[in-house]
Structure 1
Amino acid sequence: MLIRPVAIKDLDGLIALANEAGTGLTSLQPNREQLKARIERSIQTFRQTAEQADQGYLFVLADSNDEPVGVCGIEVALGLSTPWYNYRVGTVSHMSASLGVAQHVPTLFLSNDHTGHSELCTLFLAPAARGNQNGQLLSKSRLLFINVFREAFGQKVVAEMRGVSDENGLSPFWESLGKHFFSMEFAKADYLSGVGDKQFIAELMPKFPIYTSLLSEDAQAVIGKVHQNTAPARKMLEAEGLQYQGYIDIFDGGATLEAYIDDLRIIKESTNETAKPILEAETNTAELPHISYLVANQQLPNFRCILKRASSTAEASHLTDREFHLLNVDSKDTLHIVPLSPNIP
């Protein structure tokens, strides 16, 4: 499996992935024109010809036939061209000294607090490709990319997680809140936002704080929670240092995770190593080492990342002919390497 930049040839593959993803993955909608534009924007970003407000990287996880079986993305700076909305979960206190009553009510405040931050987005792996650490490769390769090209990104990174919805795509948070203001189904609002038509949010979203006690019990219960299929991705990102800080998606109430980029585990532990041919002794090893490493080149237009088993970071820099080809590097080129999981020496 290989992480590489998306290409125009991947359009049909992305359409197929979007259809598999279903409702709730806002930034991956089965709209051919929108996905083509997204691919072209990514190509311009890799070529460094896009303005900062329009920069967005898109990567695919390609199988042995170079067909996309997964997709992930990074938005460089949120909210610079169009507002980036979410809810901040806060508290409003109401007190009456004469009655001896004090009420502290959870409240949702419309927020643009993440303006200018970078975002991890558009993560989806085809069900047939799940397993063998492919999900971790797909998700965490973005953090390694951010570290390799650190100057291109801001101080913080956020990840808006898919919120709770049922097998029919119904979101209890939307049914109790958003539906009353937008007069449309959750799937349609999610679709419009995903294809870039976000003006309706500014026009129709309530500007005043929302008291969560006025929402249904089902809606209150999913605030800050994530879809069952997204729970592993949340756990993975939290292990890397991202945390829920009280911000949620305005449509489905899903948690938004965030962190200072320089505090992330992958940023702290990744190192540079020189690419070398694999040693003969390593090719004769009876069993593969059990430690997995992310190994990437340092080429912005032609970024590549693979997963490699090795006994140490130094050994992970020893490549087979196939790995040299996949990473598009020669002997003595610099590799960026980090253990796939935390707490690995």
Structure 2
Amino acid sequence: MLFVRPGRLADLDALQQMARTAQPVLHSLPHDRRALEARVALSEDSFRAEVDFPGEEFYLFVLEDSETGKLHGTSSIVAAAGYSEPFYVFRNDALIHASRELHVNRKIHALTMSHELTGKSRLAGFYIDPAMRGDAAAHLMSRARMMYIAANRKRFTSEVFSLLLGVTDDTGVSPFWEAVGRKFFGRNFADIEVQSGGRSSTFIAEVMPSYPIYVPLLPEAAQRVLGEPDEKALLAYDIHMEEGFETDRYVDIFDAGPVLTAQIERSACVKRNETRTVRETSAQQGATYLIASNKPGEFRCVLADLPAQTDGGAPLPAAARHALGAQDGDTVRCVPLHQQEPTHTTGEAQ
């Protein structure tokens, strides 16, 4: 059975392999082993820490097969994006240009560099083994983060956001980067992506334009991809929408990918949460649920079928109980996996 748990230093070899193979680059998983080790150590410290409000904490999760012990994915939460340096995006503003004399009244969109998301909690660092079949593993790996946030509210801000991969062609060229970023950096998109440090690098403010960029002045190819997810990110888009995320007026500063935001109070993992008591049983038919235990330092999350709630019980088979580290009588958080049929059924979450 697949389950999500906090990453630990013993996972370093597997995490380094993921960091090397992930495309696009995972800023939460440095290629350098020492830097990666420091990142994982920070995560271990963050999970153990007593936290009253979000700060520099970083939470790394892994997807493990309970039968083989092999890791098949990772994801993370940044408690406060841009904690040490501002976190940059473009804000898509609508400006009115009008003239009574000419009877002109036009709404013109303009992109302005913004760090308004600085300090807000961010979902980041998603990777799942391309060999994994079906969408269930991606849903589990991604939404387990929201299950953790829902159970540990004071560790995170009331609003959380996520950047999705913007449109690139088969060779990795971004139309938006070619129209904007390359003009200022004179470098390839992939090179800057590796160095950007997750959109919090000082050089972004030093090099990118501080004045608004009028969208109609951009090439049509760049305009078309504003706020659009890449084909590889369509599944990620659906997963976020199912959780209660919404598109916002922000786009990624490099590839113009969508920035999705959610109010924790309105997220599915809060609104649709059911606290149930574990009951020992064999596998039962029913709707598929995200099921999480949240013992101190021992967060676990699985997917399992549950019958409709009648007595507040969660009848779970042995494999699910073992993966959760739960015994008969323990309480778990349960959230239905699907509210409706997803719009897209293919693609990789980012």
User: Normalised by the size of structure 2, how large is the TM-score?
Assistant: 0.89
SS at match of 1:83: coil
The SS at the match of 1:127 is coil
* RMSD of aligned alpha carbons: 2.2
1:244 to 228, 243, 247: 247
191-200 or 127-136, which deviates more: 191-200
SS in structure 1 at match of 2:196: helix
Q: List per-residue Cα deviations over 1:212-235 (Å, max 9, x = no partner).
A: 122221111111001111111111
Deviations 1:245-288 (A, max 9, x none): 1110101100001121101122111121222221xxx45xxxx5
What SS does the corresponding residue of 1:105 show, helix, strand or coil?
strand
Which residue, out of 174, 178, 181, partners 2:177? 174
Is the contact made by 2:86 and 2:200 (CA closer than 8 Å) also made in structure 1?
A: no
Q: Which runs of 5+ in 2 are unaligned?
A: 342-350
Instruction: Report what 1:10 is aligned to.
Output: 11
- Per the alignment, do residues 49 and 335 of structure 1 end up closer, same or farther by CA in structure 2, a change over 3 Å counting? closer
Could you give the per-residue CA deviations for residues 198-225 of structure 1, whole angstroms, max 9, x where no partner exists? 1211211211111112222111111100
Give aligned pairs, total. Answer: 337
Q: Is the 8 A contact 1:136 1:236 kept in 2?
A: yes
Q: Distance in 2 between matches of 1:27 and 1:88?
A: 24
Q: How does 1:157-306 map to 2 (within 5 A)?
A: 157-194=160-197, 198-278=201-281, 282=282, 289-306=285-302
| Aligned equivalent of 1:145 | 148
Instruction: Give the partner amino acid of 2:236.
Output: A
The answer to whether the 8 Å contact 1:74/1:121 transfers is yes
- Deviation (angstroms), 1:240: 2.0
Deviation of 1:169 (Å): 1.6
CA distance in 1, matches of 2:143, 2:106: 43
Q: Distance in 1 between matches of 2:263 and 2:127?
A: 24
Query: d(CA) in 2 for partners of 1:113 and 1:196?
Result: 13
Q: Any idea what the Cα deviations from partners look like across 1:174-198, whole Å, max 9, x if unmatched?
A: 1110111122211111111237871
Alpha-carbon deviation of 1:165?
Answer: 1.1
Check conservation: 1:24, 1:163, Cα contact below 8 A. no
Q: Is the 8 A contact 1:46 1:57 kept in 2?
A: yes
Q: CA deviation at 1:27?
A: 4.0
For 1:199 and 1:272, the matched residues in 2 are separated by: 44
Partner of 2:107: 104
Q: CA contact under 8 A between 1:296 and 1:305: conserved in structure 2?
A: yes
The code of the aligned residue for 2:308 comes to S
Contact 1:25 1:122 in 2 (8 A): yes
Q: Which residue of 1 aligns with 2:347?
A: none
Using the alignment, how far apart are the partners of 2:279 and 2:237 within structure 1? 35
Instruction: Tell me the secondary structure at the aligned position of residue 157 of structure 2.
Output: coil
Alpha carbons of structure 1 residues 170 and 27: separation in structure 2 relative to 1, 3 Å: farther
| Corresponding residue number in structure 2 for 1:34 | 35
Of Structure 1 and Structure 2, the greater helix share is in 1
Percent identity (aligned): 34
1:28 shift after superposition: 4.5
- Give how far 1:316 is off: 6.9
**Contact map agreement 2:4 2:62 (CA 8 A) in 1:** yes
CA distance in 1 between counterparts of 2:69 and 2:164 reads 28
Q: Any stretches of 5+ residues in structure 1 without a counterpart?
A: none
After TM superposition, give the deviation of residue 23 of structure 1 in Å: 2.9
Give the counterpart letter for 1:134 in structure 2: A
Contact 2:29 2:39 in 1 (8 A): no
User: Deviation per CA, 1:33-87, whole angstroms, max 9, x where unpaired?
Assistant: 3322221111111011789431111101112322221111111122332101111
* Cα separation, partners in 2 of 1:69 and 1:187, compared to 1, 3 Å: same
In 1, the alpha carbon distance for the partners of 2:117 and 2:135 equals: 34
Which amino acid is the alignment partner of residue 311 of structure 1? P
TM-fit CA distance, 1:300: 3.5
Distance 2:25 2:215 in 1: 22
Between the aligned partners of 1:49 and 1:182, the Cα distance in structure 2 is 42
SS at match of 1:293: strand
Q: Normalized against structure 1, the TM-score is what?
A: 0.90
1:319 and 1:177, CA in 2 relative to 1: closer, same or farther beyond 3 A?
same
Aligned partners of 1:18, 1:197: CA distance in 2, in Å? 19
Equivalent in 300, 303, 306 of residue 307 of structure 1? 303
Letter in 2 for 1:146: I
Cα distance, 1:39–1:196 mapped onto 2, change above 3 Å: farther
Q: Distance in 2 between matches of 1:211 and 1:171?
A: 19
State the AA in 2 paired with 1:40: A
